[in-house]
């Protein structure tokens, strides 16, 4: 069934290096071209660096990514991080990534990633467990222990994914898995979720009736501007304090909008997450995952960029979405200032990781109001959408890949 992309591991590794060679090449050689004076030494240096990089990358991937290398990357990144300006980098040790947890954040592209993972798990023979509980992100202590026991019993290598706030395995003396995640611009996420809850997605009208059958019409058709400006609970704190708790954890204070939760979330990103990507640069997120977790993600770009998969992305947009007024956006932005502080922190870390690995960042300067809000008002285009994955998605994804 999967014969379309059952190329040998060596084959796909080569493709990966090629991909990097192209990007790397461009970056270096553009730099050399600037002075308009052809420097033979410079050219030689460029080619030598390129060779070393590609050779190293091939060696690394053929070895399945030894943990020392991951640790090395991590330590290297630690030398120039945001936190580092204030204190020593945390001495956390990165465990061997045969245990990976993706505690996916709602409406941040995870549906797309889960579909990719289902295809990859067959290709690379890792155990994928995708929880079908979508509405329970916080757990009692008993439930936490129960879930951690279940997770650690999954045959390794495994990737476990669920909409759940960060679980502190080491608190219960259980070996800590490696975490990964993806977030997106907080207001975009909020708006997307607002309309998704009401009107579903491309699957049509039936969809929302199944999803939110008890929703009354006056709630369903509530103007998002009214919701924001008149302080409806759905559009106020603590409900709009949404992304940070996923990274802060199960402590009750993690759900209280404030500096404590923000700082703890940042610290967790630094200490326990191998990668937190941003949806706005999803393709680069996949490139980095392929680099950092090759025995899970090798070949992911080939699938992602296949025409049939691309077409699927087009179908998952939330319907009837419009951007709130500038005034409402301003209010919402103020309400979500911690969320934005966290998002900017994650985005900077992500760009740093990209830089270390040799990918160019589309590094816009940090955006703040009012220029930011005007930009936001224009920025309505959706990347790939997310919601609870359905079995039919998997069937569709499989048949698309077989066709392609
Ligand atoms: C979660 O959803 C299930 C059905 O999908 C429902 O039975 C349950 O009550 C929900 N739990 C919460 C906390 O909303
Ligand atoms: C853990 O696994 C058991 C047995 O498979 C199951 O009954 C239980 O619901 C699981 N618990 C969680 C939190 O997933
Ligand atoms: C996790 O638990 C350990 C051990 O109790 C503790 O030292 C650490 O601060 C906790 N981390 C988080 C983020 O809760
Ligand atoms: C996505 O859908 C729109 C309209 O539904 C269409 O115009 C566009 O060409 C599609 N894009 C792709 C890449 O299929």
Q: What is the pLDDT of residues 110-166, one digit of tens each?
A: 888 988 898 899 889 999 999 988 889 999 999 999 999 999 999 999 999 999 999
Which residue, 315, 377, 316, is CA-closest to 191?
Answer: 377
Sign of CA pseudo-dihedral 269, 116, 65, 153: positive
Atom of ligand 1 nearest to the CA of 136: 13
CATH number of 97-403: 3.40.50.300
Q: What is the pLDDT of residues 365-376, one digit of tens each?
A: 443 344 444 444
Cβ–ligand 3 contact at 168 (below 6 Å)? yes
> How far, in Å, CA of 170 to CA of 177, rounded?
9
State the pLDDT at residue 118. Answer: 87
State the pLDDT at residue 75. Answer: 59
User: Given a cut of 60, is residue 19 above it in pLDDT?
Assistant: no
Q: Where are the alpha helices (DSSP H) in 110-216?
A: 110-124, 141-152, 186-199, 205-211
Sign of CA pseudo-dihedral 210, 212, 217, 220: negative
Question: 161 φ, ψ to 5°?
Answer: -140, 140
Stated pTM of the model: 0.71
State the pLDDT at residue 39. Answer: 64
* CA nearest ligand 4 atom 11, residue: 314
Q: Which residues have C-beta within 8 Å of that of residue 124, sequence separation ≥ 6?
A: 295, 296, 298
Residue of 134, 163, 251, 308 marked catalytic: 163
208 is catalytic: no
The alpha carbon of 245 and the centre of ligand 1 are apart by a number of angstroms equal to 20
> How far, in Å, CA of 121 to CA of 117, rounded?
6
Atom of ligand 4 nearest to the CA of 314: 1
Which residue, 250, 242, 286, 269, is CA-closest to 109?
Answer: 286
Q: What's the CA angle centered on 122, arms 134 and 19, to 5 degrees?
A: 100
Domain spans of the chain? 1-63, 97-403
The ligand that comes nearest to the alpha carbon of residue 144 is 2
Q: What is the pLDDT of residues 391-403, one digit of tens each?
A: 344 444 444 444 4
Cβ–ligand 4 contact at 305 (below 6 Å)? no
Averaged pLDDT for residues 207-227: 80
Pairing assessment for the beta strands 158-161 and 127-130 based on DSSP bridges: parallel
The ligand that comes nearest to the alpha carbon of residue 136 is 1
């Amino acid at each position: 069934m999967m014969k379309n992309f059952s190329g040998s591991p060596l084959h796909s590794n080569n493709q990966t290096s090629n991909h990097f060679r192209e990007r790397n090449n461009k970056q270096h050689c553009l730099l050399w071209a600037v002075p308009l004076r052809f420097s033979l030494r410079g050219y030689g240096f460029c080619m030598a660096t390129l060779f070393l990089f590609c050779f190293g990358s091939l060696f690394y991937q053929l070895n399945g990514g030894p943990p020392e290398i991951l640790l090395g990357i991590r330590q290297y990144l630690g030398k120039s991080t945001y936190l580092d300006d204030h204190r020593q980098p945390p001495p956390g040790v990165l465990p061997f990534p045969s245990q990976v947890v993706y505690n996916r954040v709602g409406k941040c592209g995870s549906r797309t990633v889960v579909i990719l993972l289902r295809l990859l798990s067959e290709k690379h023979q890792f155990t994928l467990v995708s929880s079908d509980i979508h509405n329970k992100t916080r757990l009692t202590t008993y439930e936490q222990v129960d879930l951690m026991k279940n997770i650690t019993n999954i045959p390794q290598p495994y990737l476990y994914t669920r909409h759940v706030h960060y679980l502190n395995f080491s608190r219960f003396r259980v070996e800590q898995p490696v975490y990964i995640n993806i977030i997106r611009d907080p207001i975009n996420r909020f708006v997307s979720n607002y309309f998704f809850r009401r009107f579903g997605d491309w699957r049509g009208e039936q969809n929302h009736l199944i999803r939110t059958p008890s929703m009354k019409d006056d709630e369903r058709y509530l103007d998002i501007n009214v919701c924001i400006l008149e302080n409806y609970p759905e559009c106020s704190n603590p409900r709009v304090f949404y992304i940070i708790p996923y990274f802060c954890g199960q402590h009750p204070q993690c759900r209280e909008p404030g500096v404590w939760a923000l700082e703890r979330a940042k610290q967790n990103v630094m200490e326990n997450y191998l990668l937190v990507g941003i949806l706005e640069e999803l393709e680069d997120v996949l490139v980095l995952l392929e680099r950092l977790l090759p025995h899970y993600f090798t070949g992911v770009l080939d699938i992602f960029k296949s025409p049939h998969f691309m077409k699927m992305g087009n179908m998952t947009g939330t319907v009837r979405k419009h951007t709130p007024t500038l005034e409402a956006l301003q209010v919402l932005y103020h309400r979500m200032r911690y969320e934005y502080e966290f998002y900017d922190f994650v985005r900077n870390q992500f760009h740093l990781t990209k830089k270390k690995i040799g990918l160019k960042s589309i590094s816009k300067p940090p955006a703040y109001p009012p220029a930011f809000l005007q930009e936001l008002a224009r920025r309505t285009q959706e990347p790939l959408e997310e919601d609870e994955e359905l079995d039919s998605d998997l069937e569709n994804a499989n048949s698309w890949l077989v066709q392609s």
